Chains A and B, each alone.
Chain A
Amino acid sequence: MTTATHDHGHDHEHHGPAKGLTRWLYTTNHKDIGTMYLWFSFAMFLLGGTFAMVIRAELFQPGLQLVQPEFFNQMTTMHGLIMVFGAVMPAFVGLANWMLPMMVGAPDMALPRMNNLSFWILPFAFAMLTSTLFMEGGGPNFGWTFYAPLSTTYAPPSVTFFIFAVHIMGASSIMGAINIVATILNMRAPGMTLMKMPLFVWTWLITAYLLIAVMPVLAGVVTMMLMDIHFGTAFFNAAGGGSPVLFQHIFWFFGHPEVYIMILPAFGIVSAIIPAFARKQLFGYSSMVYATASIAFLSFIVWAHHMFTVGIPFLGEAFFMWATMLIAVPTGVKVFNWVTTMFRGSMTFETPMLFAICFVVLFTIGGFSGLMLAVAPADFQYHDTYFVVAHFHYVLVPGAVFSIMAAVYYWLPKWSGKMYNETMGKVHFWLSFVGVNILFFPQHFLGLAGMPRRIPDYALQFANFNMISSIGGFLFGASQLLFLYIVVHTIVAGKPAPAKPWDGAEGLEWTVDSPAPYHTFTTPPKID
């Protein structure tokens, strides 16, 4: 490093990436691994999306037209699993890989070889999971929540492959999380105290702790399933003295923090983008940090609100209702902070900002339905209907997924050194925005009118809104091909981007060139 120059406050490395396929196979570079995570997650997004299209096509009209119920159940299950574990989580890990070292002024992730491993086991996990669709008896057909005994005694033989795939995904997530914690806690540039970290770093730090806490629980529950299926135990088998309800307690003890794992990094992204385009500092930075931490804490004591109808005792029911409603308070604080950041700013509306604003509005609508679902007596009417489907798709699609898209548009100039086409970006936004609302808003009505979730066919009074929802689904699905085109077009033929394409953006990542050099911050920057 003796030849390093210090004119821009960082080093220009004398060597670039290796050539050929082995570059990607052997790489320990956080930017390469981040890129691979992002492309992998996009591929899974299209695969999971294809399954969703099958579901919406079958539900276009009452009656069975395209697929049989057995296959329909495999589609709902695989759609959920692929989107949660294959699309949303790896996308956030990809963003973390790319951005965290640059945001804290570190040269790379703390554990680069483990970083390589945690990515490269994922394609095998998902290849195995997807291959179950071609096995005799079909793939997993018990829902992404895989409730026992439907997923044990009554499961198709391919369930064993599903369990192994979940183990691999879990291992990948745990390694990724450890790496992120190690990087943030040990590799910050001198002067970057915890309360000076960008919120994306904060939210990921908290998310990583959630992952380390709950992924072993998921591994535990699938291992218990494996034991029940193959080794004669009866954890979840009532006939052998076990309990199917035990499964749900363990699953949701993982599952509820998992929900926040998919949304906290999104909070961080939006907290970076809104101040950048409002040209005004984020309102209430420290309350944002405390709110995130409170949400993470509460996520561990609300799991049974997924189980209001399983017959838990009155006091348990009341406790979980109150704890769940409490989450609305820190979540509300976040929304108020974003809105106040925008208030009396000087706003422009480039594509990342459009996605971020849309996130705030539609995520809040998902939060409202979440508050409604928390009210236990009313939940008896909502539970396992399309109202729930609408709720979690509002927080996950225009919530998590839109935040990822916002992040891609926001940081793509930094990654590729090229500017995307703003008009096309806006067209993509508006098609997605209109599509997602036509797709999911009518599902609130369907649920309230009484349509259960996970059914391949429905009574005639649900026909109209299902058809509208499907049309929205096809529109939304097709718009994502435009997203693919925009990204590829940017990389291949975009106009060169300056080091800091957004005049209101803040953070160390904008102090390096665009595209970011292969090695950044080999000498740590100074933070005042």
Chain B
Amino acid sequence: MKLQRAFIALTALLISSVAHAGWQLNMPRGVTDISQEVYGLHMLTLWVCVVIGVLVFGVMFYSMFKHRKSKGAVSANFHESTKVELAWTLIPAAVIFAIGVKATYTLADMYNFEDSEVTVEIVGYQWRWRYRYIDENAEQEVSFFSSMSTPRDEINNRLEKNENYLLEVDEPVVLPTGTKVRFLLSSADVIHSWWVPALAVKKDAIPGIVNEAWTIINEEGTYRGQCTELCGKDHGFMPVVVEAVSPEAFEQWLADKEQEAIELAELNDREWTFEELMERGEQVYGSACASCHQQDGSGVPGAFPALANSPIAIGSAEGHLDVVVNGVRGTSMAAYGNQLSDADMAAVITYERNAWGNNVGDMVTPVDVYNFKAGE
């Protein structure tokens, strides 16, 4: 009975893993012309290696079976031949030359950044991405953060892991198909790397440097990738999700986002109550601050200070604003002045001053934030 149950469990395990296509052996072909070319190069080099390997190891294993002492083999005494040496220098060199030429053409294609129709700025933050659709004519530019949406309970094995575990975000970057999209990549803190295998695009996002990349997506769909440069604690938890839609749907989506951005900007101008700020502050804290300072404000000893009962969070509002708006030089505390809207800044500071036993009781409004920034 026990054996039977074990067998059923094992089968179930196997079936469930097959359901997630867990045996992928090779690089995906991808959905762009470039990714197809890259796949072709990959397979070409692989097959060249396989052929050379079969030849070399073939001779080697033949010798190992035929020329062994136990079979009475007597060793020959040749030990050099200029002709043979020349041959196995020149032939591999020629093969490599052929691969090199083909690769150089593809490389040149990848470096042709001209004639793009849409430009998206991608900025890496610890540990999320910010996408900005560069459009000088827009009334309000579309810009948003994209953070992993997998619940911590799934990571900590308290909930069953969903199909897109670790590869899902709260807000994917939406791109039009059949359109040349240019990416401008940079970073606000450490080096990150933006990678979507299906597009064969991987480029480092480096502080102080703007890198370029481009793609033309041929098929609609959702394409997932991850950060590929070690960027600290949550490096494994900053996925990339690209939603490729038709150009018409993209236009519509962009227009909607623009409208949303206008409404969001208006939040900075309206009146806020303490309760509203606390409620919004908790959300902002969860997405912008909690990964370091922890959900309960307790921090990580030696790495990230606690906010509960911290001299800054219960000190003057000015000092608190200074830290969050300008960051702290020489530490991993980033400057959030340009990352958060005035309303979100006000909300999160109000929240930090009045949560987890902090009880300052005061309230920082968007106007205070605006004045603080202007007064500098």
Interface residues of A (CB under 8 A from B): 62-65, 69-70, 73, 135-138, 141-143, 147, 149-150, 153-154, 156-157, 238-239, 242-245, 278-287, 309-311, 314, 317-318, 321-322, 325-326, 328-329, 332-333, 335-336, 339-349, 357, 360-361, 364-365, 368, 371-372, 375-378, 380-381, 383-385, 445, 448-450, 452-465
Whether A280 pairs with B76 at a CB distance below 8 angstroms is: yes
Q: B34: nearest residue on chain A (CB-CB)?
A: A377
Please tell me which one of the listed residues B23, B207, B233 contacts residue A149 in the complex, with CB atoms under 8 A apart. B207
- Verify if B264 is at the interface (C-beta below 8 Å from A): no
With A136-B301, A309-B202, A445-B25 as contacts: A365 and B228 at CB distance below 8 Å:
no
Given contacts A65-B157, A157-B302, A460-B22, contact A375 B41 (CB under 8 A): yes
For B103, list chain A residues within 8 Å (CB): 321, 375-378
Q: Smallest distance from the beta carbon of B36 to chain A beta carbons, Å?
A: 11
In this assembly, does B236 line the interface, its C-beta being within 8 Å of a C-beta of chain A? yes
Of B51-59, B316-324, B367-375, the one touching chain A: B51-59
Contact A357 B206 (CB under 8 A): no
Q: How far is the CA of A461 from the CA of B89 in the complex (A)?
A: 42
- B319-357 CB contacts (< 8 Å) to partner A: 330-332
Cα distance A385–B324 in the bound complex, in angstroms: 35
CB distance from A125 to the nearest CB of B (A): 23
Give the contacting residue for B69; candidates A141, A150, A279, A449; CB below 8 A.
A279
Question: Does residue B271 face the partner (Cβ distance < 8 Å to A)?
Answer: no
CA distance A325 to B189 in the complex (A): 34
Among candidates A138, A156, A239, A314, residue contacting B107 with C-beta atoms closer than 8 Å: A314
Are A457's CB and B166's CB within 8 A? yes
A287, closest chain B residue (CB): B85
Report which of A329, A372, A459, A460 forms a contact with B46, defined as CB distance below 8 A.
A372
Find chain B residues with CB under 8 A from A153 CB.
190, 330-332
Judged by a CB distance under 8 angstroms, whether B99 is at the interface is yes
In the complex, the answer to whether A244 meets B207 with C-beta atoms within 8 Å is yes
Question: Nearest Cβ in chain B — how far from A357, in angstroms?
Answer: 7
What are the 7 tightest A-B residue pairs by CB atom distance, in nearest-first order?
A238-B208, A137-B302, A455-B236, A136-B302, A311-B211, A368-B49, A449-B24
Chain B residues near A340 (CB-CB < 8 A): 84
Given contacts A154-B232, A450-B197, A460-B163, contact A377 B110 (CB under 8 A): yes
List A contacts of B273 (CB < 8 A): none
Chain B residue total in the interface (Cβ 8 A): 103
B107 surroundings in chain A (CB, below 8 A): 314, 317-318, 321, 376-377
B200 interface hit (Cβ, 8 Å): yes
Taking the closest CB of chain B, its distance from the CB of A323, in whole angstroms, is 10
Stretch at the interface among B60-68, B244-252, B254-262: B60-68
Asked if residues B79 and A281 are in contact (CB atoms below 8 Å), the reply is yes
Q: What residues on B are CB-neighbors of A279 within 8 Å?
A: 69, 75
**Residues of chain B lying within 8 A (CB to CB) of residue A349:** 64, 68
Does B331 lie within 8 Å of A283, measured CB to CB?
Answer: no
Kindly state whether residue B191 has any CB partner on chain A within 8 Å.
yes
- Residues of B bordering A, CB below 8 Å: 17, 20-28, 34, 37-38, 41-42, 45-46, 49, 52-53, 56-57, 59-60, 63-64, 67-70, 73-81, 84-85, 88-89, 92-93, 96, 99-100, 103-104, 106-108, 110-111, 126, 154-157, 161, 163-167, 189-191, 193, 195, 197, 200-204, 206-209, 211-212, 225-237, 300-303, 330-332
B92 CB contact (under 8 Å) in A314, A322, A332, A452? A332
Measured CB to CB, the closest approach of chain B to A305, in angstroms, equals 12
B202 contacts A383, C-beta separation under 8 Å: yes
- B20 → chain A, closest Cβ, in Å? 5
Question: Chain A residues near B28 (CB, 8 Å)?
Answer: 449-450
Not counting A69-B237, A238-B207, A459-B165, a sample of 10 additional A-B residue pairs whose C-beta atoms are within 8 angstroms of each other reads A153-B190, A154-B331, A287-B80, A342-B67, A347-B69, A380-B38, A380-B110, A384-B228, A452-B235, A464-B17
Q: How far is the CB of A447 from chain B (nearest CB, A)?
A: 9
Residue pair B67, A344 in contact (C-beta under 8 Å):
yes
- Bound CA span A346–B68, Å: 5
Say whether A154 contacts B24, CB under 8 Å: no
Of all chain A residues, which has the CB nearest B90?
A: A329
Partner of B64, one of A357, A384, A460: A357
What residue of chain B has the Cβ atom nearest to residue A455's Cβ? B236
**In the complex, what's the smallest C-beta–C-beta distance from A231 to chain B, in angstroms?**
12
Q: Is the CB of A448 within 8 A of B23?
A: no
Kindly identify which residue among A143, A284, A378 contacts B45, using a CB–CB cutoff of 8 Å. A378
Q: Is the CB of A463 within 8 A of B20?
A: yes
Contacts A150-B190, A459-B167, A462-B22 known; A63 to B155 CB distance under 8 Å? yes
Nearest chain A CB to B188's CB is how many angstroms away? 10
A238 to B191, CA, bound (A): 11
- Determine whether the beta carbon of B191 is less than 8 Å from that of A321: no
Report A-chain residues with C-beta under 8 Å of the C-beta of B166.
Answer: 62, 457-459
Name the CB-closest residue of B to A240. Answer: B208
Neighbour of A311 across the interface among B53, B100, B206, CB < 8 A = B206
Q: Closest Cβ of chain B: how far from A253's Cβ, in Å?
A: 18
A285 and B70 contacting across the interface, CB-CB below 8 Å: no
Expressed in whole angstroms, the minimum distance between the Cβ of A292 and any Cβ of chain B is 14
- Asked if residues B79 and A361 are in contact (CB atoms below 8 Å), the reply is no
Which partner residue on chain A sits nearest B162 by CB separation? Answer: A460
CA–CA, A238 and B300, complex, Å:
27
Query: A380–B229 contact, CB under 8 A?
Result: no
B226 and A62: CB pair below 8 A?
no
From known contacts A380-B202, A464-B23, infer whether A454 and B191 are also in contact, taking CB-CB under 8 Å: no
Shortest distance from the beta carbon of A214 to any chain B beta carbon, whole Å: 23
A146 nearest in chain B by CB position: B230
In contact, A69 and B233 (Cβ under 8 angstroms): yes
Determine the distance from Cα of A167 to Cα of B23 in the docked complex, in whole angstroms. Answer: 44
Whether B53 contacts A368 by the Cβ 8 Å rule is: yes
Q: Is A244 a contact partner of B191 (Cβ separation < 8 A)?
A: yes
Nearest CB on B from A459, distance (A): 5
| Contacts A/B (CB < 8 Å), 18 sampled | A62-B161, A62-B166, A136-B302, A154-B232, A154-B332, A238-B209, A309-B203, A311-B212, A318-B107, A332-B92, A339-B63, A344-B73, A348-B69, A364-B53, A377-B38, A381-B42, A384-B228, A464-B17
